[in-house]
Amino acid sequence: MTLRTGLLLATMTLVIGCSGAPHALPADLIETRLAAPLDAVKTALTQVLTDGGYEVDWKNDSTLETSYREEMHGPGKRLYRWRFGTIKSRVNATVKAADDQSTLLTLEVQSEGKDGIFTSWEQVPSALPQSADNQLRLIKNALQLL
């Protein structure tokens, strides 16, 4: 085997080995039952997400959606994000009354990230402060359910 054939074979092996569909990340999703009335849960959910930097929009009585969280503040944020990238996240939630004193809550955090100029936004794991687990912890603290 010549050097040229060996290099070609090694390159083809590398290209074939590295190609393939990206693996889907598991959803950052929590479904739980909280021992609090529906109105109290809605108020706590709105307050926690607003304090976390999200703009909250109730689509109807049971569905909440947020815009992307403002991850950075300052005059050069667009240039910085364009050049170096960042992670952005948003939240979707559904609340339903299970009975008079408990509420069913479904909370999903969607995060996207990029790491430079020539890359596109793609799904990434949620950062710990914005994760669904942490959001649920903050909601329970606001409701004083420990």
pLDDT at 12: 65
- For the chain, the domains span 25-143
pLDDT at 120: 81
Pairing of strands 102-113, 28-34: antiparallel
Whether the full predicted model's pTM is greater than 0.85, yes or no, is no
pLDDT at 61: 92
Identify the segments of the chain with pLDDT beneath 70: 1, 4, 6-24, 70-85
Domain 25-143 class, CATH top level: alpha beta
pLDDT at 86: 75
pLDDT at 84: 60
pLDDT at 126: 85
